[in-house]
Structure 1
């Protein structure tokens, strides 16, 4: 399978983007169809994006066809957890050398697939191309097909070398690979009217485990998870679900739209962060499933049971959050994250009485950007880019009490001498669902009221007014 320009453009040309649907073909937004400029993807490439999307499939061997340096460590720095197989945490690489670049790496790849199958017996092998193997012209697709016949298990080729574009593009290419080679290749033992798929959640810090018990209590079965804590087999029969619940719209909407066109599965866009979001998510799932059942006792019972569950969980959560809300009320947050978190954490902060005074719109769909502006109001700031200098100025201008973002932003918070909370994929705490809301409140409280901040804001013992004058140029 060659990467033609048509194939590259396919996941970029988002058919479900309402912003584009309203425009004529020649006036569609170019950024929805045009890959990033060369060089702009360094450190954030489509190869990494594909791995981020697919590595959480836990019983699959993920083999990187390229130099060992390309493998890096995407398994551990993302924090996707497994309730079963740990195979996905093993980094497999063909470790191409200079000789392989000259003479080709196809034989090495074929032997690597056979060795993995013999030693680890995976449910499938996913082979990821890299810039090097794409440039030297290895026929990776043919090798994968030949190896699959030899070992008798699926070998899926993920054609996303890093130079194609951004991490976001790689996420979409990963989803396309699942649709082309995995979804629809097997049938579940049984199906129910209450089968759903969750798309775009990667079980970071075990967040999926905060939500699955809620669905179990409602009698709703999560047929397939794509891809947090997933097994290869469950993705094979994802086409039998009655509803797709999309968590990360920016990278998963195209997948949901394709499944709607092929299999007639409706989809809804939801978030698991914050009380208001999780309540709405449960209600929308129950309402959509009930609508497909028609007006009967079963559908009415599902909606009634959903309301009972929401009432029970929110009442218990209100009691648990009472002391934290009194301490967090009125605190101001600058939020620098992306995708679903850039707007859903605004609502989660409101649940705690906190105010988000600025957020980013990175990796957000046009609909999400509109939602961000609505939630922030006229006084809120929306950041498209957030260099350390920009964030420091925003923190100063908004008189923020803390910065919430990714791990790379913690040093900016330290420079500003304010608390920081990590909500991105490197975090070790689950913030989804009702249990996650309590954990978020606890972490925000610990960060804000740590005694270290009172100490670092004090002048050093050796500091005096004369030094201030020298540094400011007055002397």
Structure 2
């Protein structure tokens, strides 16, 4: 496998601001780091939302089982939805000794004969990477046999973090899909959404606004995406990185190869949604488009403020601690501030240097940037007098212990919080959490404590 120099390159990303002055890895693997998600899981996160492609895990059954259904990536694909299906070669001890290549070939044949997907992504895992199964050759032979893209994804878990795996997934798409097909038509306002996975339908909260403005989403990587669309991504006029800074390597290489500029933004909260729409219009450089965008923003903000008025009365004086990852460390903080909630602390352990700078900008000098949120959040809830904890499911018990309201804003969430309408969903969920009688009951002191 020729992934070693590629991994070193991806860890030293020149497009990252903090890497321009020195050669430093963005996220060098550290012992125990993969317990937060390995590279294999990160690659699946980047590519699994392609519902028209089969995703075949070449490894033991546990690799697929442990990463199954971690994200509710919604799709509008009308055919067979492969995000609801799992395929694995179920490598055993016998395959480790005698090679699992025949089993992989047979598995690809079975999928093509029974399901006929638009493409097959084949993921290596720790076991199959160590025994040296040649994914590239097998995928090449299968692609020639069936005239369907077969994409080897070299992201075994041991190479590093989930963040690195997302980059490796992007590399696989760039090498084997992007630029392999021409679009039927093009427009001056074609964009690619990179790192938008449409978790709980977040993308659908703003895609209709882009459509109204005349901005066409040519392809996505990979929320509600289609294999045929990502193959034409090289004809877009702009790459828009939504949330996933791990894919900045992909956008840099697309700029070098296809001269496509890129911008990074968020669609969480009123301010960031408005700023994001305007940033896209300005990057496309059309005066009429910019004017249309400003009018649309004014209209949507006026409608939103009217609906938010009763919620802001409930949130007056409320404080929140935010424990999530990546750019959500500041984007959800922005959304909370739009609701009138003071964010007293946010977790930046999994954030990039640029994300940390932005988090500081949003929280100000008084806000706390938690480097070890698991240990710090309980203490900060007491010190800051927080009323809300927004985090992933594992932090629920901290909220119960501290007797404050809790809301799940990580990938396990059940509602969309993106765009203008998503902010209303967030407001409703936070209001319900704050007014939930359960939290009032558990916050009472026990009779023997009075």
User: What interval of TM-score do these two structures reach, taking the shorter chain for normalisation?
Assistant: over 0.9
Equivalent position of 2:304 in the other structure:
317
Q: Return the offset for 1:39.
A: 4.1
Query: 1:292-329 CA deviation, whole Å, 9 max, x = no partner?
Result: xxxxxxx3321221111111111111111110011112
Q: Which whole-Å CA distance do the structure 1 matches of 2:94 and 2:33 have between them?
A: 29
Equivalent position of 1:102 in the other structure:
97
Task: Tell whether the 8 Å contact from 2:191 to 2:240 is kept in structure 1 after alignment.
Answer: yes
Where do 5+ consecutive residues of structure 2 fail to align?
Answer: none
Equivalent position of 1:347 in the other structure:
334
Equivalent position of 1:456 in the other structure:
442
Q: Any residues of structure 2 matched to 1:163-178 within 5 Å, and which? A: 163-178=158-173
Match of 1:288 among 259, 283, 289: 283
Equivalent position of 1:441 in the other structure:
427
Equivalent position of 2:3 in the other structure:
3
4+ residue stretches of structure 1 with deviation over 6 A? Answer: none
Q: Which whole-Å CA distance do the structure 2 matches of 1:37 and 1:343 have between them?
A: 25
Q: Return the offset for 1:73.
A: 5.2
Q: Any residues of structure 2 matched to 1:426-437 within 5 Å, and which? A: 426-437=412-423
Q: Which whole-Å CA distance do the structure 2 matches of 1:269 and 1:143 have between them?
A: 36
Q: Return the offset for 1:390.
A: 2.4
Give 3-state SS (helix, strand or coil) of 1:222's partner. Answer: strand
Q: Which whole-Å CA distance do the structure 1 matches of 2:327 and 2:314 have between them?
A: 26
- RMSD, aligned α-carbons: 1.5
* 1:411 partnered with 2:404: no
Q: Any residues of structure 2 matched to 1:265-304 within 5 Å, and which? A: 265-290=260-285, 299-304=286-291
Task: Tell whether the 8 Å contact from 2:349 to 2:373 is kept in structure 1 after alignment.
Answer: no
Q: Which whole-Å CA distance do the structure 1 matches of 2:393 and 2:228 have between them?
A: 34
Match of 2:209 among 194, 211, 214: 214
* 1:37 partnered with 2:30: yes
Q: 1:304 to 1:200 in 2, by over 3 A?
A: same
Q: Which whole-Å CA distance do the structure 1 matches of 2:208 and 2:118 have between them?
A: 26
Give 3-state SS (helix, strand or coil) of 1:128's partner. Answer: strand
Query: 1:207-240 CA deviation, whole Å, 9 max, x = no partner?
Result: 1111111001101101011111101111000110
Equivalent position of 2:74 in the other structure:
81
Equivalent position of 1:336 in the other structure:
323
Q: Which whole-Å CA distance do the structure 2 matches of 1:157 and 1:126 have between them?
A: 6
Q: Return the offset for 1:35.
A: 3.1
Q: Return the offset for 1:71.
A: 0.3
How does the TM-score come out when normalised to structure 2? Answer: 0.96
Give 3-state SS (helix, strand or coil) of 1:31's partner. Answer: coil
* 1:257 partnered with 2:252: yes
Q: Return the offset for 1:359.
A: 0.4
Give 3-state SS (helix, strand or coil) of 1:246's partner. Answer: strand
Equivalent position of 1:397 in the other structure:
383
Q: Which whole-Å CA distance do the structure 2 matches of 1:2 and 1:143 have between them?
A: 15
Q: Which moved more, 1:57-66 or 1:139-148?
A: 139-148
Q: Which whole-Å CA distance do the structure 1 matches of 2:349 and 2:42 have between them?
A: 15
Match of 1:125 among 95, 120, 131: 120
Match of 1:385 among 352, 369, 372: 372
* 1:69 partnered with 2:56: no
Equivalent position of 1:17 in the other structure:
16
Q: 1:365 to 1:249 in 2, by over 3 A?
A: farther
Give 3-state SS (helix, strand or coil) of 1:464's partner. Answer: helix
Q: Which whole-Å CA distance do the structure 2 matches of 1:50 and 1:318 have between them?
A: 39
Match of 2:196 among 197, 201, 217: 201
Q: 1:362 to 1:111 in 2, by over 3 A?
A: same
How many aligned residue pairs are there? Answer: 448
Higher Cα radius of gyration: 1
Give 3-state SS (helix, strand or coil) of 2:35's partner. Answer: coil
Equivalent position of 2:133 in the other structure:
138
Q: Which whole-Å CA distance do the structure 1 matches of 2:407 and 2:44 have between them?
A: 25
How does the TM-score come out when normalised to structure 1? Answer: 0.92
Q: Which whole-Å CA distance do the structure 2 matches of 1:454 and 1:9 have between them?
A: 51
Match of 1:181 among 176, 190, 204: 176
Q: Which whole-Å CA distance do the structure 2 matches of 1:356 and 1:38 have between them?
A: 32
Q: Return the offset for 1:249.
A: 4.6
Give 3-state SS (helix, strand or coil) of 1:189's partner. Answer: coil
Q: Which whole-Å CA distance do the structure 2 matches of 1:118 and 1:195 have between them?
A: 35
Q: Return the offset for 1:248.
A: 2.2
Q: Return the offset for 1:38.
A: 4.5
Equivalent position of 1:364 in the other structure:
351
